[in-house]
Amino acid sequence: MSEAEGKFLDALYKGVSNSGQLSFALGLIQKMFGCRSAVLVMVDARDPMANFVETSGSLLEHLQLYVEKYAQIDPAPARFLSLPAGRAMSTDRLFTPEERATGQFYNEFFKPIGLIETLGGPLYSSDGSFAMIALMRGNDREPFDESEVARLEHLMPHITRALQLRRTFFRIDSKNVGLQATLDRLQAGLILLAADGEALFVNAAMRALAKQNDGLVLGRDERPRVTNSEARRRFDALLENVSAGGIGGIVAAPRTGGRDYIVLVAPSPASSAQSNWERNGPGGAIIVVHDPDSGATNTSEILEQGLGLSKGAARLVAALAADHDLKTFAESEGVTIHTARFHLRSALSRTGAKTQAEVVRIAVRLLRDFALAGPSPASPAL
């Protein structure tokens, strides 16, 4: 392997997760073959978000014109994709002299921007998904020969592997971003700790709670700390318990500005990618913080739409679920106790519940399942 090929492969595999390195790699292979331009295309029918076209050299300067006017009449991609995967060929061999002499694309676009011949081929092609590479020379160098075809075919399996890894990486990354966005909409604070205590993820609700600096704070390493000394000892003991393979538990974290936070410490589930040894070793922890004084601004709307309640009955059930009673509800709403009881009877009728406690349980389950409906707490971007 030459030094130039080594540099190209190094940049290529770094390009699995770094688009800048992929662009750099394309520039390197263009230079290796003494070409004026290079193109790398990947189309994924199952995941259009993974599609991309990477271009270097002179074609990059005319890419917009190509896309707008000439892409539809460019005959080269179809000819290249008709080759077996991993096979390379030049357009001087794919097209007859007559086709090149009379071709609209060749004469109106390709040749005027200083390009004469293309060497390329399909990296893979199946089920509507494909990838291909193309290197374009000008008249400043000789036509592509058999040694250059063989050299490109030698590199094509590496390019294919890198693109497949890139596709997998971006699918995983997309799922990860979606998962983080989902966790950031939870009303409960959530922290995921690694086995060594490193904070792997802190959701937006937890950051908002910690920002209040009352009962719970995050250190510079984003590890949580309970400020009350007695509760902190209990919290630290639960973390040690989980680290040793225990099931964890719950601790109340006192604060001055409201009711105690309820903090759950539990072992994080083992990954399917972990070995048996790793699964049996020290594990990480999940920390969930519930603020009993928080509530979704649209709680009544969720109950109204989800349970088919009237607005008044929905407000009453929301209040009951938040540990209020009929009297405090009537006082806060400025209605009589008889009106409050009317709303309760309406809620019982609509839900089929027999008692006030049962309708509250129904409401709490609904609100728990629709916890994501609440607005995301304001917090710094992750």
- Domains delineated in the chain: 3-177 (3.30.450.80), 187-290 (3.30.450.20), 299-373 (1.10.10)
Query: Among candidates 67, 139, 56, 69, which has minimal Cα distance to 104?
Result: 69
Question: What gap in Å lies between CA 62 and CA 53, rounded to an integer?
Answer: 14
Q: What is the pLDDT of residue 365?
A: 79
Question: What gap in Å lies between CA 206 and CA 3, rounded to an integer?
Answer: 50
CA 33 to chain CA centroid, nearest Å: 37
CB atoms within 10 A of CB 27: 16
CB atoms within 10 A of CB 7: 15
CB 261 within 8 A of CB 206: no
299 by Cβ neighbours in 10 Å (0-12 / 13-18 / 19+) ranks as buried
DSSP-derived secondary structure letter, 164: H
pLDDT by residue, tens only, the chain of 382 residues: 788 888 999 888 888 878 888 899 999 999 999 999 999 988 876 666 667 788 999 888 888 888 889 888 999 988 898 899 999 999 999 999 998 888 899 999 999 999 999 999 999 887 778 889 999 999 999 999 999 999 999 999 999 888 888 777 766 666 666 667 767 777 788 898 988 888 888 988 899 899 999 999 998 888 899 999 999 999 999 999 998 888 888 889 999 988 888 898 888 865 444 444 344 445 688 898 888 777 555 678 888 888 889 999 999 998 888 778 999 999 989 999 999 999 999 999 999 999 998 998 888 877 766 654 444 444 333 2
DSSP-derived secondary structure letter, 141: S
Question: What gap in Å lies between CA 351 and CA 343, rounded to an integer?
Answer: 12
Angle, vertex CA 259, rays to CA 253 and CA 261, nearest 5: 35
CB 378 within 8 A of CB 372: no
Q: What is the pLDDT of residue 115?
A: 93
Q: What is the pLDDT of residue 368?
A: 67
257 by Cβ neighbours in 10 Å (0-12 / 13-18 / 19+) ranks as exposed
CB 202 within 8 A of CB 377: no
Which backbone phi and psi does 213 adopt, to 5 degrees? 55, 45
Q: What is the pLDDT of residue 372?
A: 44
Q: What is the pLDDT of residue 214?
A: 92
Query: Among candidates 185, 119, 105, which has minimal Cα distance to 149?
Result: 119
Q: What is the pLDDT of residue 152?
A: 94
Q: What is the pLDDT of residue 172?
A: 66
